[in-house]
Amino acid sequence: MNFNGNHKISIKIEKEVDHCAMAENPMRDDAFSLDDEMKIALIKEKFEDILSIIGLHLNDDSIADTPHRIAKMYINEIFSGLNPKNRPEITLFENKYNYHSPLIEMNIPFTSFCEHHFVPIIGNANIAYIPNNYVIGLSKLHRITDYYAKRPQVQERLTQQIHKDLTETMQTSNVGIVLKASHTCISCRGVADHGSSTITSVFSGKIADDSTIISLLRGN
Query: Which one, of 156, 131, 151, lies nearest residue 206 by Cα?
Result: 131
The binding track of 97-136 with respect to Zn ion, each residue x by CB under 5 A or -, is -----------------x-xx-------------------
Q: Which of 114, 153, 160, 163 is catalytic?
A: 114
Specify the residue, 185 or 216, whose C-beta has the smaller distance to Zn ion. Answer: 185
Under rule CB under 5 A, how many of the chain's residues touch Zn ion? 4
Residues 6+ apart with CB under 8 A from 85: none
Binders of Zn ion among residues 172 to 201 (CB under 5 A) are: 185
Q: Is 188 annotated as catalytic?
A: no
Q: Is 153 annotated as catalytic?
A: no
Q: Is 114 annotated as catalytic?
A: yes
**Roughly what angle, to the nearest 10 degrees, separates helices 7-20 and 155-170?**
140
Specify the residue, 87 or 189, whose C-beta has the smaller distance to Zn ion. Answer: 189
Q: Is 142 annotated as catalytic?
A: no
What is the identity of the amino acid at 141? L
Cα distances (angstroms) measured from residue 133 to each of 4, 89, 136, 171, 175: 8, 19, 10, 8, 14
Query: Which one, of 214, 136, 211, 150, lies nearest residue 178 by Cα?
Result: 214
Report, as residue numbers or ranges, the catalytic residues.
114-117, 155, 183, 185
Report the interface residues with Zn ion, using CB under 5 A. 114, 116-117, 185
